[in-house]
Amino acid sequence: MTQGKWTPTISSGSAPKYLALASSIEQAIESGDLQPNERLPTNRELSQLFGVTIATVTKAMAVAARKGLIVAQVGSGTFVRGSSERAADAEALDLSLNILPDNIVGKELATLIQSQSPALLAQSVFGYGSYVPTSSHAERAVAWMSTFGAQAQVAHTLLTVGVHQGLMAAFHALLNPGESAICEDVTYTGIKRIASYRNVTLLGVRCDASGMVPEDLEERLKQGNAKVVVITSALHNPTTATLPRARREAIARLCREHDAYLIEDGINMPLMGGQIPSVSSFAPERSIFLTGYSKCVSSGFRLGYAVVPPALLDTFHEALVSTQWIGPRLYADMAEQMLASGLIDEFARAHRTEARVRYERASRILTGIRPTATPGYHAWVDAPAGPVGENIAMQALRLGVKVSPAAHFAVSADASVPGASYRISLGACQNLADLERALTILAGIEAQHQSIVSTLI
């Protein structure tokens, strides 16, 4: 390849080098220094041109590929994506966003909005909202949380603008910049973003099909580098693992023994239902429990609850106010009505039924989907056996399907899932026909790989 007008450089800002490298490629494409269909140097050549490691280049190329800037062709190299290909990407079947289908309870939510008097609706939308729920709302919320194993007290319950804000506030309450927190070694990307924003280092703990392994957590805690454990106890994002009761008890016991605090993301517990107690219920005095409605009502229904021990209530509340001055009044008013009328339970049942239909359909089409007893709206596809010559997510993207590769969720390079594994959203497509079309494309990639492996054997 001839470099043409492109002179590779990395800006001297504070961004990680791999992001700066990806940005340099993007800027070169936008300026025309790199032309559509132009072949890029090899990763080794790029590492020499930019003065970085090959690992850094590999991460940068993954970022550029996710943005649809480049495409790898087996045996030929990596090329700037053509303009027509980028247009096709915009129309891709997007299974990368872990969201709910809008049409399951959409009519009911519209009816609920329309039933509000204009005056009360305006007050809910434009009036001041507190993060402290009304006593009637708190009582109903506490009763609702008890139906899926979360123990709470009215005086210890605050509202949040979704679980993500709750996670941000928990990090603020428990961690100073420069400190470390322990989490699953593959974790929700929001946790990675919050840790980066707060300048907190994440230390991964090995997971298996049942979630975080307590023995590995104990080894991490013994090292004394972190006093905060962040965990997703049910339908873990991305792997769908759900911690059994024995592990929940063990994790809570280890936090007590090592004087560590626990942040529990229970966003999927309402969708799962059931009565396995939350991890936090085994050590409530050192736990922040978070849950909400975005996985059992609607992705945009941004209301959550935080159950916070008394010693942390003031600090946690201050963190909420610091991130958003006004609390979620509209959502809080609607949630209280839905709790009182039983609509929340109806919505959860409807989503539970739809999620199972989609999961079972996906399992029939894709052989690599990891089994889960109570499915939600995302599924984990384990890496196929044998060598994988090209990133499966990139192969899928070229064929018009977007998925989230394991690298998105890995806390470190030695995560406990193979790099060729990936997560798919079962709720991103509004209808089963589009979902089946996307899954069939992925199944074709799976079958092609199996054919190659059998030939090698």
pLDDT in tens, 397-411: 888 899 999 999 999
Is the Cβ–Cβ distance between 281 and 288 less than 8 Å? no
Is the Cβ–Cβ distance between 332 and 159 less than 8 Å? yes
> Judging by beta carbons within 10 Å of its beta carbon (0-12, 13-18, 19+), is residue 287 exposed, middle or buried?
buried
* Band of pLDDT at residue 76, cut at 50, 70 and 90: low
Which helix (H) or strand (E) segment holds residue 344: the answer is: helix 343-365
Residue 90 has pLDDT above 50, yes or no: no
DSSP state of 370: P
Please give the share of the chain, as a percent, with pLDDT higher than 70: 90
Is the Cβ–Cβ distance between 182 and 220 less than 8 Å? yes
In DSSP notation, 21-77 reads: HHHHHHHHHHHTSS-TTPBPPPHHHHHHHHT--HHHHHHHHHHHHHTTSEEEETTTE
Write down the residue that tokens 């289908």 correspond to.
101
Residue 234 has pLDDT above 80, yes or no: yes
DSSP-assigned beta bridge partners for residue 130: none
Residue 1 has a pLDDT of 41
Residue 209 has pLDDT above 50, yes or no: yes
Residue 12 has a pLDDT of 62
Lookup: tokens for 167? 């996670």
For the stretch 291-321, pLDDT in tens is 999 999 999 999 999 999 999 999 999 999 9
Write down the residue that tokens 């992705």 correspond to.
299
* Band of pLDDT at residue 170, cut at 50, 70 and 90: very high
* Band of pLDDT at residue 455, cut at 50, 70 and 90: very low
Mean pLDDT is highest, among 110-119, 250-259, 388-397, 446-455, for 250-259
* Band of pLDDT at residue 32, cut at 50, 70 and 90: confident
CA distance from start to end of the chain: 35
DSSP-assigned beta bridge partners for residue 77: 73
* Band of pLDDT at residue 68, cut at 50, 70 and 90: confident
Write down the residue that tokens 């993954």 correspond to.
62
Range in 57-61, 130-134, 198-202, 242-246 the model is least confident about: 57-61
Report CA 370 to chain centroid distance, whole Å: 17
Query: Rounded to the nearest 5 degrees, what angle is found at the Cα of 229, between the Cα atoms of 225 and 233?
Result: 155
Residue 197 has pLDDT above 70, yes or no: yes
* Band of pLDDT at residue 74, cut at 50, 70 and 90: low
Please give the share of the chain, as a percent, with pLDDT higher than 90: 69
Residues 178 and 158: their CA atoms lie apart, in Å, by 27
Residue 49 has pLDDT above 50, yes or no: yes
Range in 63-67, 81-85, 214-218, 386-390 the model is least confident about: 386-390
Q: Taking residues 369-376, what's their average pLDDT?
A: 95
* Band of pLDDT at residue 457, cut at 50, 70 and 90: very low
Cβ count within 10 A of residue 49: 17
Sign (positive/negative) of CA torsion 167, 173, 176, 181? negative
Is the Cβ–Cβ distance between 271 and 355 less than 8 Å? yes
CA-based nearest residue to 350, from 277, 423, 428, 298 = 298
- Work out the mean pLDDT of the chain and round it to a whole number: 89
Contacts 24+ apart (CB under 8 A), 188-193: 188/232, 188/237, 188/238, 188/265, 188/409, 189/408, 189/409, 190/164, 191/167, 191/230, 191/265, 192/409, 192/411
Residue 106 has a pLDDT of 93
Residue 453 has pLDDT above 80, yes or no: no
> Judging by beta carbons within 10 Å of its beta carbon (0-12, 13-18, 19+), is residue 157 exposed, middle or buried?
buried
> Considering the entire predicted model, what is its pTM?
0.80
For the stretch 95-134, pLDDT in tens is 999 999 999 999 999 999 999 999 999 999 999 999 999 9
| 84 phi and psi angles, rounded to 5 deg | -70, -35
Angstrom distances, CA of residue 178 to CA of 164, 166, 277: 21, 20, 33
Residues 33 and 31: their CA atoms lie apart, in Å, by 6
Residue 389 has a pLDDT of 46
DSSP-assigned beta bridge partners for residue 286: none
Residue 417 has a pLDDT of 86
Q: Taking residues 350-364, what's their average pLDDT?
A: 97
Residue 45 has a pLDDT of 86
* Band of pLDDT at residue 429, cut at 50, 70 and 90: very high
